[in-house]
């Protein structure tokens, strides 16, 4: 499988919508000296209501498109696509692909002293039990909690709204009830959730550490790139920035580019400008 050929790689990031921009944001913080291609399949979301075969079909088409645009490494920022179709994606990819689930599970296992983790995510991600399997493989006891209202609340912009806080209190009180009271890690298994992390910190028991799978994924990508550059006797890329350099960001969306710009700016925390509408054939 080809590896990035340049000290400044082009990283392709794929998600079913705009949520994966929180992963891109973490990548920009961790690896500022790279070029990025982001593909949001906004015309066909949500993936959670689709079959595994359909999700695989959509995801494979998107990652092939990113490769055609020059992606030298792929980040599957979509939890649903990683949970339901990662094997198919890796088989179809001509470059290395990194999903969000394994890095998130590894980080949670590393942080947990009591070997107990609560995972919150969408119905589709929780139903797949992908995080459960990844954590149990690391000898971690897991409680999963679907939080279906978080995504629409975040997309509405209600990241500090009293309604969102009340919903979060209900969800997390259920998640940490009974035998889960001594759980010491909350793993955010959805790319929308980093936007409400400050609110979640307020309503989560104080002894519980919050692990963000977006940040964990960015750390894993940085580690892989550093291994590659070190192996070539090149200076490590992660965390190092050329003087005056600005990462080149390109965005692709299967629905309205204008809608993507508006919502994407909120998720990324930066102005989203270079957005191309893409019509992937079925």
Instruction: Give the Cα separation of 241 and 245 in Å (integer).
Output: 7
| DSSP class per residue in 129-184 | THHHHHHHTTT-EEEEEE-TTHHHHHHTT-TT-HHHHHHHHHHHHHHTSGGGTT--
Q: What six digits make up the tokens of 176?
A: 């940490």
The residues assigned a catalytic role are 78, 190
Residue with tokens 């005056």: 244
Angle (CA) 106-5-28 rounded to 5° is 50
Query: Where would I find the H helices in the chain?
Result: 21-30, 52-68, 79-92, 101-111, 123-128, 130-136, 150-155, 162-175, 197-203, 213-231, 257-268
């Amino acid at each position: 499988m080809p590896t990035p050929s340049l000290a400044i790689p082009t990283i392709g990031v794929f998600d079913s919508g705009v949520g994966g921009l929180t992963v891109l944001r973490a990548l920009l913080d961790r690896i500022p000296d790279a070029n990025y291609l982001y593909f949001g399949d906004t015309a066909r979301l949500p993936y959670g209501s689709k079959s595994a075969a359909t999700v695989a079909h959509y995801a494979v088409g998107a990652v092939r498109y990113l490769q055609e645009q020059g992606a030298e490494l792929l980040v599957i920022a979509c939890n649903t696509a990683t949970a339901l179709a990662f094997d198919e994606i890796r088989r179809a990819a001509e470059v290395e692909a990194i999903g969000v689930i394994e890095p998130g599970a590894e980080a949670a296992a590393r942080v947990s002293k009591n070997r107990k983790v609560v995972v919150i995510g969408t119905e589709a991600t929780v139903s797949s039990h992908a995080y459960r399997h990844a954590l149990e493989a690391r000898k971690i006891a897991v409680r999963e909690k679907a939080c279906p209202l978080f995504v629409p609340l975040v997309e509405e912009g209600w990241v500090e709204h009293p309604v969102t806080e009340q919903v979060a209190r209900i969800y997390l009180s259920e998640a940490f009830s009974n035998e889960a009271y001594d759980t010491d890690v909350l793993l955010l298994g959805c790319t929308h959730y980093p936007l409400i992390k400050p609110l979640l910190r307020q309503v989560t028991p104080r002894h519980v550490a919050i692990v963000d799978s977006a940040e964990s994924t960015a750390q894993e990508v940085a580690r892989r790139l550093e291994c590659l550059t070190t192996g070539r006797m090149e200076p490590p890329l992660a965390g190092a920035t050329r003087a005056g350099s600005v990462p080149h960001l390109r965005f692709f969306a299967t629905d309205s580019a204008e809608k993507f710009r508006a919502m994407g700016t909120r998720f990324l925390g930066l102005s989203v400008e270079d957005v191309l509408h893409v019509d992937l054939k079925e």
